[in-house]
């Protein structure tokens, strides 16, 4: 459903991506792993349209995203949970979720969708009238994911969802991601926690210095020698 | 290279000498008046440029320094003090005043935009206050008016303008000037290199106030009559900014070119369209800020590049946000952008 | 003596509500777009002249004509935004603020001179049949026109508050103000929101200008004056808080009126002095305050 082909991108005179090609199939859970500064977040920004490639193409269900502004890309069915969640701290939990369903398509089924999100994250329902700024780190991350799901995405982009969470919460977070994926939502997961990500993912890409240097099933990469030595110690 | 430098220096000296001799060539008073206006506006713009252009602290209340300069010089001069003393005081008083606001503002690392609107407010306070305290017209001493001679005034104002440009040049070419530019480009990075941002900003403010005050002193010596608060009015804050931008902000010759252009265009427009000249000038200013942030100086560099096919001298100012990113905001947190000023 | 004090207190509140309404447009625009439009006072002036023209040329009642002058300002605001400010929108925040100050400064000059040509430098007021009518409460004289303006200002502020809190678009505006990038990822067209906020700010300036024209008077050079009043209120009240803006406006109005009892010529200096003090005492500013 999603295809990146030979994508180059950067900021001003600093090039970050050097010909990235990757693909996410319908309902797949794909991980993108690599060291800090390799270009993982930039890749997600390219897919969301926050940054436009200088060369190469991004296609979603065969449609080119190159000229689409980011808000149109959300409408087309790609939602991103940015690093750190970036929830609207000055607004209530419920208002955050409502904003998630801002697109015309999502707004029509807002009520059912919200029920589903509350089912996934009962904690959010308990705190729905609270200001989002008063939530704990784990709850914020749940809200960020719930908010992205409100847009009824076909593809969910997750940027470091486990970052800064306590170990016990990390495990819950990964279970949650699996559950979401089983609801027929494809997931592209960017993670520092390489072992957990590779165990979870059906396929994975390894990115270094803005290039894809490895690709395969999660299990295969787990046993891949260079990945083992570089990330798993 | 040295030969070329020698030629430019010779041209410069010849130009100044020619300017100096203009009054003795029997030219009309109106031409002298026009030149005097150019000198005064050059001083006004150059003095603003030191703080606003080189150090990146936009001052929208330069009229406060200019106005204080006129006020002090006028009171001392009409009170019978010697001209030299009046001009000196016109420089010193605005500096003292600028420290009142500069020390707390820069010490507290007031954000640039707060400083800007703070200066706007401060100049308004002075404008209103002077209008209340001295709500009358000030005249030069009778002896001066009866025996008004343009020649000596021309020379004193020309000398002041040369002094202003000289100070600006010396400052900018010194280590201090380099520090000022570093503070403008990225304050944190400058500090990490051991540059004291507070001291550099304060120095730029002091020099800007000093020269702004001198401009006021020259104006007070030149103009026979005006309302005391007129020299504090908003146009005196607006014009240095527009002239500097149109000429080329953050360069030595930019304000000079801007001032000459301003005076000539104003003369021409007043003849052609009367009072509409301010509207046209405002539009020009907006166009420069939006599309030609380096002003006429940059335009000239661009033209020269087209004809000589060689890279022109480095332009300090480059328009930002030409990247393909949707907005620079997220980038700003990662890498400091080159600001427009 | 106590009546004098009460009288100036009341007139302070009456003008303070207008300060609040003037500032709320500036605050909305700055909070959402990070454009600091120092030509906001000139927009207010144009609103005043719009209702002046409507009244003198077409005989439209100034209060009834508020929607018309707001509509005029919507058009002017849209042109101003599309031609000038929209070009700054992609700059990093600090450059955006700095350049918007320059653009606003230049626009202010242009609009002021256009007004001078169109309406001359004279002070203009709108003298309706009921213009001078007053009523007295406990010895304090209250002009009908200004009391009506106070009520209208309150209504506008309340309506804005409800719009931002209750409607989908209002929430999108608040979301964009907090984190434009996250808002984009919600499918919000942030450039549309920026334009809408700017135009809304202009419309509010149009309404405020009408109330100023009908209760007081308008002149081409009033722009700078009202921009400064709005900035003072903004610094006192904080960005994004409509209640704070209203309170800031009332405090400024009352302080000025109180000061005017003793030093009438300096009523406008008092506010500016407070402004500079607040800037220096709270350098991070109430500007930086998150919305509550």
- Asked if A54 and B335 come within 8 Å (Cβ–Cβ), the reply is no
Q: C175 vs A99: CB contact, 8 Å cut-off?
A: yes
Q: Which of B323, B326, B330 sits opposite A12 (nearest CB)?
A: B323
User: Given an 8 Å threshold on Cβ–Cβ distance, is A14 in contact with B335?
Assistant: yes
The Cα-based distances of B278 to B243, B270, B311, C110 in angstroms read 12, 9, 36, 7
Using a CB–CB cutoff of 8 Å, tell me whether B128 touches chain C.
Answer: yes
Confidence at B322, pLDDT banded by 50, 70, 90: very low
Looking at per-residue pLDDT, the higher value among B152 and C290 belongs to B152
Are B330 and A12 within 8 A, CB to CB? no
The mean per-residue pLDDT over the stretch B13-30 comes to 89
Bigger pLDDT: B101 or A174? A174
CATH 1.10.3470 fits B25-339, yes or no: yes
Say whether A102 and C292 touch across the interface (CB within 8 A): no
| Rounded percentage of chain A residues whose pLDDT exceeds 70 | 96
pLDDT, tens digit, 9 for 90 and up, residues A209-224: 999 998 988 888 877 7
Cα–Cα dist C209/C226, whole Å: 10
Chain B contact present for A67, CB below 8 A: no
Show residues of chain A in contact with B324, CB under 8 Å: 9, 51-54
Give residue ranges of C with CB < 8 Å to any A CB.
Answer: 168, 171-172, 174-175, 178-179, 181-191, 240, 290-292
Map residue A10 onto helix, strand or coil. Answer: strand
- CB contacts of A133 in chain C (<8 Å) are 290
Query: Does C43 contact chain B (CB < 8 Å)?
Result: no
pLDDT over 60 at B334, yes or no = no
Q: Rounded to a whole number, what is the distance in Å from the CA of A136 to chain C's nearest CA?
A: 19
- The reply to whether B318 touches chain C by the CB within 8 Å rule is no
Average confidence (pLDDT) over B35-44: 96
> Terminus-to-terminus CA distance in chain B, angstroms?
30
Q: What is the pLDDT of residues A75-115, one digit of tens each?
A: 999 999 999 999 999 999 999 999 999 999 999 999 999 99
Confidence of residue A4 (pLDDT cuts 50, 70, 90): very high
- C107 interface with B at CB cutoff 8 Å: yes
Domain ranges across chain B: 25-339
Residue C292 predicted with pLDDT over 80: no
Task: Tell me the pLDDT tens digit for each residue of B157-213.
Answer: 999 999 999 999 999 999 999 999 999 988 888 988 889 999 999 999 999 999 999
Residue range C225-249, pLDDT digits in tens:
899 899 889 888 877 789 889 999 9
Give percent above pLDDT 70 in chain B: 90
Q: How far apart are CA C89 and CA C96, in angstroms?
A: 7
pLDDT at C19 over 60: yes
Query: What mean pLDDT is predicted for residues B213-227?
Result: 95
In the predicted model, is pLDDT for residue C39 greater than 70? Answer: yes
Q: What's the ipTM?
A: 0.92
CA-based nearest residue in chain C for residue A51: C181
Q: Which of B336-340, C111-115, C287-291 has the highest mean pLDDT?
A: C111-115
Quote the pLDDT of residue A43: 96
Residue C2 has pLDDT above 90, yes or no: no
Residue of B nearest to A42 (CA): B325
- CA–CA distances in Å: residue A84 to residues A99, A140, A176, C182: 18, 9, 17, 11
Q: CB contact, 8 Å: B317 with chain C?
A: no
Flag whether residue C262 sits within 8 Å of chain B, measured between CB atoms: no
- Cβ C92 vs Cβ B112: under 8 Å: no
For residue A77, what are the CA distances in angstroms to A52, A73, A186, C186?
18, 7, 10, 11
User: Searching chain C, which residue's CA lies closest to the CA of residue B335?
Assistant: C92
Nearest to C291 among A50, A86, A90 (CB): A90
Taking Cα atoms as reference points, which of C31, C93, C102 lies closest to residue C288? C31
pLDDT value of residue C282 = 65
Query: Does residue B333 register a pLDDT over 50?
Result: no
Instruction: Place A146 in a pLDDT band, splitting at 50, 70 and 90.
Output: very high
Does residue C176 register a pLDDT over 60? yes
Q: Is the Cβ pair B340, C101 closer than 8 Å? A: no
C97 vs B113, B286, B290: nearest CB:
B113
Asked if C260 reaches chain B (Cβ–Cβ under 8 Å), the answer is no
What confidence score (pLDDT) does residue B109 get?
72
Q: What is the pLDDT of residue C68?
A: 96
3-class secondary-structure state, position A80: strand
Using one digit for the tens of pLDDT, what is the confidence trace for C63-118? 999 999 999 999 999 999 999 999 999 888 878 888 888 899 899 989 999 999 99
Mean pLDDT of C210-224: 93
The pLDDT of residue B305? 84
Q: What is the mean pLDDT of chain C?
A: 90
> Is the CB of residue C17 less than 8 Å from the CB of residue C154?
yes
CB C20 within 8 A of CB C246: yes
Mean pLDDT over C27-36 rounds to 92
Least CB-CB distance to A51: which of B325, B335, B337? B325
Mean pLDDT of B76-85: 93
Identify the closest residue of chain A to C241 by CA–CA distance.
Answer: A90
Cβ–Cβ gap B340/C105 under 8 Å: no
Of C99, C114, C228, the CB nearest to B289: C99
The proportion of chain C whose per-residue pLDDT surpasses 90, expressed as a percent, equals 62
pLDDT grade, residue A232 (50/70/90)?
A: low
Chain A 4-23, residues with CB within 8 Å of chain B CB atoms: 9, 11-12, 14
Q: Is A50 part of the contact surface with chain B (CB cutoff 8 Å)?
A: yes
- Chain centre to alpha carbon of residue B149: 27
Phi-psi label, residue B311: left if phi above 0, alpha if psi -120 to 50, beta otherwise: beta
A79 and C185 within 8 Å at the Cβ level: the answer is: yes
Q: What is the mean pLDDT of residues A144-150?
A: 96
Confidence (pLDDT) at B272: 80
Which pLDDT score, from 0 to 100, does residue B65 have?
97
pLDDT exceeding 90 applies to what percent of chain A?
77
For residue range B278-302, list pLDDT tens digits in order: 888 889 889 988 988 888 888 888 8
- Asked if residue B324 has pLDDT above 80, the reply is no
Quote the pLDDT of residue B62. 96
Contact A195/B at CB under 8 A: no
Residue B331 contacts A where some CB pair is shorter than 8 Å: yes
Q: Answer with the residue of higher pLDDT: C201 or B187.
A: C201
Verify whether the Cβ–Cβ distance C97 to B285 is below 8 Å.
no
Q: Give the least confident one: A57-66, B95-104, B240-249, B330-339.
A: B330-339
Q: What token pair was written down for B246?
A: 């149109």
Q: Hey, of C182, C183, C292, which one would you mutate to test binding to chain A, going by the most A CBs within 10 A of its CB?
A: C182
> Which position has the token pair 């990662």?
B334
User: Is it the case that residue C291 has pLDDT exceeding 90?
Assistant: no
Query: Given CB atoms, is B198 within the 8 Å cutoff of chain C?
Result: no
pLDDT score at B316 = 39
Distance, in angstroms, between A207 CA and closest chain B CA? Answer: 20
Q: A68 to chain B: nearest residue by CA?
A: B326
CA distance A78 to chain C (A): 9
Contact B326 A70 (CB under 8 A): yes
* Candidates A50, A102, A150, partner chain C, best to mutate (most C CBs within 10 A): A102
The pLDDT tens digits for B268-279 are 888 887 778 788
pLDDT at A231 (0 to 100): 67
**Average pLDDT over every residue of A138-142:** 93
Domains in chain C, CATH or no CATH each? 2-281 (1.10.3470)
Per-residue pLDDT averaged across B72-92, rounded? 94
CA angle centred on B33, ends B32 and B39, rounded to 5°: 90
Which residue of A lies nearest to B320 if distances are taken between CA atoms?
Answer: A12
The shortest CB-CB distance from B122 to any of C116, C276, C285 is to C276
Closest chain B residue by Cα to residue C35: B113
Write out pLDDT tens, residues A18-65.
999 999 999 999 999 988 889 999 999 999 999 999 999 999 999 999
CB contact under 8 A, B101 and C36: no
Answer whether B233 touches C (CB < 8 Å).
no
Give the model confidence (pLDDT) of B98-154 as tens digits: 998 888 888 877 777 778 888 888 998 999 999 988 989 999 888 888 888 888 899
Cβ contact A106–C175 (<8 Å): no
Q: How confident is the model at residue C1 (pLDDT cuts 50, 70, 90)?
A: low
Assess contact for A2 and A29: CB atoms under 8 A.
no
**Average pLDDT of span C112-134:** 89
């Amino acid at each position: 459903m999603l295809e990146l082909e030979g994508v180059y991108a950067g900021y001003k005179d600093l090039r970050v991506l050097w010909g990235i090609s990757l693909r996410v199939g319908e309902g797949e859970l794909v991980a993108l792993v690599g060291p800090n500064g390799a270009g993982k977040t930039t890749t997600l920004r390219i897919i969301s349209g926050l940054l436009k490639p200088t060369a190469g193409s991004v296609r979603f269900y065969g449609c080119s995203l190159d000229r689409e502004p980011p808000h149109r890309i959300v409408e087309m069915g790609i939602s991103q949970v940015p690093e750190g969640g970036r929830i609207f701290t000055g607004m209530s939990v419920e208002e955050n979720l409502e904003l998630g369903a801002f697109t015309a398509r999502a707004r029509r089924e807002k009520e059912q969708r919200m029920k589903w999100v509350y089912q996934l994250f009962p904690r959010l329902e308990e705190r729905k009238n609270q200001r989002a700024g008063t939530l704990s780190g784990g709850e914020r991350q749940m809200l960020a994911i719930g908010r992205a799901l409100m847009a009824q995405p076909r593809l969910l982009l997750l940027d470091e969802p486990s970052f800064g969470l306590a170990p016990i919460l990390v495990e819950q977070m990964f279970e949650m991601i699996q559950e979401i994926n089983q609801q027929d939502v494809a997931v592209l997961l960017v993670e520092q926690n390489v072992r957990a990500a590779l165990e979870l993912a059906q396929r994975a890409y390894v990115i270094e210095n803005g290039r894809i240097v490895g690709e395969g099933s999660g299990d295969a990469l787990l046993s891949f020698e260079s990945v083992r030595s570089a990330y798993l110690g | 290279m040295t030969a070329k430098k020698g030629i430019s220096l010779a041209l410069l000296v010849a130009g100044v000498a020619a300017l100096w001799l203009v009054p003795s060539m029997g030219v009309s008073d109106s031409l002298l008046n026009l030149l005097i206006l150019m000198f005064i506006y050059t001083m006004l713009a150059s003095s603003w440029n030191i703080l606003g252009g080189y150090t990146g602290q936009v001052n929208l209340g330069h009229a406060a320094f200019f106005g204080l300069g006129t006020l002090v010089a006028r009171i001392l001069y009409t009170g019978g003090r010697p001209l030299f003393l009046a001009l000196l005081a016109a420089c010193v008083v605005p500096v003292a005043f600028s420290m009142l606001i500069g020390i707390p503002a820069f010490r507290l690392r007031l954000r640039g935009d707060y400083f800007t609107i703070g200066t706007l407010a401060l100049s308004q306070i002075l404008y209103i206050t002077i209008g209340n305290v001295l709500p009358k017209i000030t005249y030069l001493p009778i002896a001066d008016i009866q025996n008004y001679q343009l020649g000596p005034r021309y020379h004193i104002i020309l000398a002041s303008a040369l002094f202003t440009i000289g100070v600006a040049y010396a400052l900018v070419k010194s280590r201090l000037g380099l520090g000022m530019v570093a503070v403008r480009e990225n304050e944190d990075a400058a500090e990490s290199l051991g540059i004291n941002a507070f001291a550099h900003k304060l120095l730029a403010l002091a020099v800007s106030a000093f020269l702004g005050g001198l401009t006021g002193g020259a104006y007070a010596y030149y103009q026979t009559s005006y309302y005391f608060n007129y020299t504090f009015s908003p146009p005196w804050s607006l014009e240095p900014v527009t002239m500097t931008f149109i000429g080329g902000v953050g360069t030595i010759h930019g304000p000079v070119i801007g001032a000459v252009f301003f005076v000539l265009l104003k003369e021409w427009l007043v003849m052609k369209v009367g009072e509409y000249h301010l509207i046209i000038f405002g539009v020009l200013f907006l166009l420069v800020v939006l599309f030609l942030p380096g002003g006429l100086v940059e335009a000239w560099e661009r033209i020269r590049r087209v004809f000589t096919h060689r890279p022109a001298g480095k332009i300090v100012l480059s328009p930002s946000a030409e990247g393909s990113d949707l907005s620079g905001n997220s980038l700003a947190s990662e890498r400091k952008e080159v600001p427009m000023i | 003596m106590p009546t004098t004090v009460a009288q100036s207190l009341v007139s302070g509140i009456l003008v303070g509500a207008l300060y609040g309404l003037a500032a709320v447009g500036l605050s909305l625009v700055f909070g959402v777009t990070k454009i600091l439009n120092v030509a906001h006072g000139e927009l207010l002036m144009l609103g005043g002249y719009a209702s002046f023209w409507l009244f003198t040329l077409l005989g439209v009642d100034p209060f009834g004509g508020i929607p018309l002058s707001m509509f005029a300002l919507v058009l002017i605001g849209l042109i101003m935004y599309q031609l000038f400010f929209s070009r700054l929108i992609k700059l990093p925040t600090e450059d955006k603020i700095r350049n918007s100050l320059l653009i606003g400064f230049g626009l202010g000059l242009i609009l002021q001179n256009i007004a001078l040509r169109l309406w001359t430098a004279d002070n203009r007021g709108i003298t309706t049949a009921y213009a001078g009518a007053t009523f007295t409460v406990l010895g304090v004289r209250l002009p009908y026109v200004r009391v009506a303006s106070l009520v209208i200002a309150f209504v506008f502020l309340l309506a804005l508050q409800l719009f931002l809190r209750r409607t989908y678009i209002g929430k999108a505006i608040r979301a964009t103000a907090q984190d434009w990038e996250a808002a984009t990822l919600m499918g919000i067209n942030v450039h549309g929101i920026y334009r809408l906020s700017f135009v809304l700010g202009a419309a509010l300036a149009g309404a405020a200008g009408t109330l100023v024209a009908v209760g007081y008077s308008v002149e081409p050079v009033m722009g700078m004056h009202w921009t400064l009043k709005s900035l003072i209120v903004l610094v006192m009240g904080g960005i994004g808080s409509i209640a704070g803006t209203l309170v800031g406006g009332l405090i400024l109005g009352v302080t000025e009126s109180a000061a005017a009892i003793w030093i009438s010529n300096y009523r406008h200096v008092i506010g500016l002095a407070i402004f500079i003090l607040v800037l220096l005492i709270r350098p991070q500013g109430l500007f930086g305050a998150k919305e509550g």
